[in-house]
Structure 1
Amino acid sequence: MAKENKAQPLQRQVKDHWYVNYNEMGFPSIQKGWVLPVDRWAEFDPFILMAEDWFKKGTFPDHPHRGFQTVTYVVDGRLEHIDNGGGRDILEPGDVQYMNAGWAARHAEDGVEDDIAHTLQLWLNLPKDKRNTETLYQNVYAEEAPVVPFEGGSVKVFSGNIAGTQGPLESIVPITLSEITLSEGAEYVLSLPENHNAFLYVLAGDIDAGKNEVNIKKHGVATLSFNDDGQEQNPSELNIKSNKRRTKVLVYSGAPIKEDIVPYGPFVMNTMEEIKQAFQDFCNGKFGPPAV
């Protein structure tokens, strides 16, 4: 009896890669770099942008959002979150906060006391039919994210199902977020849904990534090949090899939404008319009281 030939998983390749350029900012903001620049949102779909910021208290006081989600990873320092729904907390290095701005978020994100907060904030699109969803926040503390060890390292799972382990972050648009730590010479094969657009960011160290073994060092970003017509249940594989004693990589993935958007100021909508309406609603007090 003939054996059934199973299709081999897609082997992810590095499609494009670059290094973040940083600009000094006016105090209390200190430095900013664009990990994912906003003018390339169409190729990053469902991701819109990612900013890397160093800042002190007073940089991001009370402000509104509508129409998208954020995923904030604290690299260093302490980050205080305050929202006008009564939420208040302090996040420390390795913690992640998820926010669904939905129809009307109003919050503040600031350094604590004299700390310099160092964060990575990802903007994640919402489909048109979910832009008016309820505003919500979820903190995932570093110790709450499950860790799966492997030879020479480990993978921490914040969101999605990675290495047979489900992460605690529950976004309205499902994504995966994993933090991979490797020692020198260690290799890891990360399994991701084949239809997910994905990118990685090297927080520390030096890696060779993808089937094409592209070398990427600290502050390097890489977008990855994927099967746009694929199925969520079908896996793909991303090969990562560490070339340094201490390497740490963040990998994000999500299925494209395939809708035109207008990112403008603190809002992301589908048309400029909707952006104008969001500003009008904020001015008319529909976002609620300030976050203080």
Structure 2
Amino acid sequence: MTSKIIKQVSRVITAHRQREGGGFMVRRPLPSGNLDYADPFLMLDHLGPVDYAPGEAVGAPDHPHRGFETVTYVLEGGFEHRDSHGNHGVLKPGWVQWMTAGSGVIHSEMPTDELQKKGGDFHGFQIWVNLPAKDKMIRPRYQDVPPEDIPWFKSSDKQTSIKVIAGEVEGVQANIDTHTPIFMLDLRTSGKYSLAIPQGMDVLVYNYNPTPILVGQEKTKLEESQLAVINTHGHPVDFEAVASVDDGSDKKEARVLVLAGTPIREKIARYGPFVMNTDEEIRQAISDMQSGRFGTIPGSSERMRKTDEANAKRRQAGKQ
């Protein structure tokens, strides 16, 4: 007797392209016209991959945040970050930065000097994670984690490897502390793998690789730049790489980003870089930012100059 196949994938969303920050192009499946919010995830931006010519690399000059967390995951290239609390660091390939904006911060995320001057590849993600009302005004915090401090493991058949950026899988615990239970995984597979996620969490699976992948018990096919929203119904989520030839003898490696979290289930008020619970709190955030309470970062005009020059060079080269 065969077990009944449960439909786990509730929708598939293809990322739309738009320009963000200082002019870099992103692929954004969340929010979209089909899905405004996936509690507690507010936004998922796929940055690149892009090959910059010398002088073309752009980032996000000084801008504010309040009431949520930004997660930056660099696959190729690098970012240099600064903030109004005096923090400074460089994120290189494999690094993760989990920034809790909390009560408010001005920060910048600019390409490294080497990437800006010499050009090169850039590829990565930025994810926005909501904070519960009780934590929205906490002190800002950075967790900068180099690749050697991000645990990973291989499946017993050696066909699947998983970086555990947040959460715990098969006894492997991430080194990043989160305010609500969160899973963030970078999963690669050339075979099959079943991932158990605690009940009550919806799962987001984003395919950021050209190789398609089958997800869910019903084996929904995800192409590159597609996001699956999954209700587990209390069962593991299945992943399977797609064979490149009909007989299944050759399977290319598929790569997906997996996100899951405990829903906060609170009212949300959003306005650009501020995510609070009420319109009054949004108005207060705008007032605090305009009055200088978020602080400033020395060198703002220089970062804007570099951004303007990079955009001008890209336009002269006839690039979007």
Normalised TM-score (structure 2): 0.79
Letter in 1 for 2:275: V
Q: 1:133 aligns with which of 138, 148, 168?
A: 138
Worse-superposed segment, 10-19 or 163-172: 10-19
Would you say 1:17 and 2:12 are equivalent positions?
yes
Q: 1:215 aligns with which of 212, 221, 242?
A: 221
CA gap of 1:247–1:291, structure 2 versus 1, over 3 A, is farther
| SS of aligned partner of 1:281 | helix
Q: Deviations over 1:230-254 (max 9, x none)?
A: xxxxx74111001141211110110
CA gap of 1:111–1:287, structure 2 versus 1, over 3 A, is same
Letter in 1 for 2:85: G
Q: How far apart in 2 are the matches of 1:282 and 1:37?
A: 25
Q: 2:149 aligns with which of 139, 144, 147?
A: 144
Show the counterpart of 1:31. 25
Show the counterpart of 2:290. 283
Q: How far apart in 2 are the matches of 1:241 and 1:101?
A: 37
| SS of aligned partner of 1:274 | helix
Q: How far apart in 2 are the matches of 1:28 and 1:135?
A: 23
Q: Deviations over 1:223-277 (max 9, x none)?
A: 11145xxxxxxx7411100114121111011011111211211100112221111
Higher helix share: 2
Normalised TM-score (structure 1): 0.86
Letter in 2 for 1:189: S
Q: How far apart in 2 are the matches of 1:291 and 1:84?
A: 9
Would you say 1:157 and 2:151 are equivalent positions?
no
Higher strand share: 1
Counting aligned pairs with the same residue, the percent is 32
Show the counterpart of 1:4. none
Unaligned runs of 5+ in 1: 1-7, 228-234
CA gap of 1:226–1:81, structure 2 versus 1, over 3 A, is same
Q: 1:247 aligns with which of 243, 251, 254?
A: 254
Q: How far apart in 1 are the matches of 2:198 and 2:47?
A: 30
**Superposition RMSD in Å:** 2.4
Letter in 1 for 2:228: A
CA contact (8 A) 1:104 1:287 kept: yes
Q: What pairs with 1:172-183 in structure 2 (closer than 5 Å)?
A: 172-183=179-190
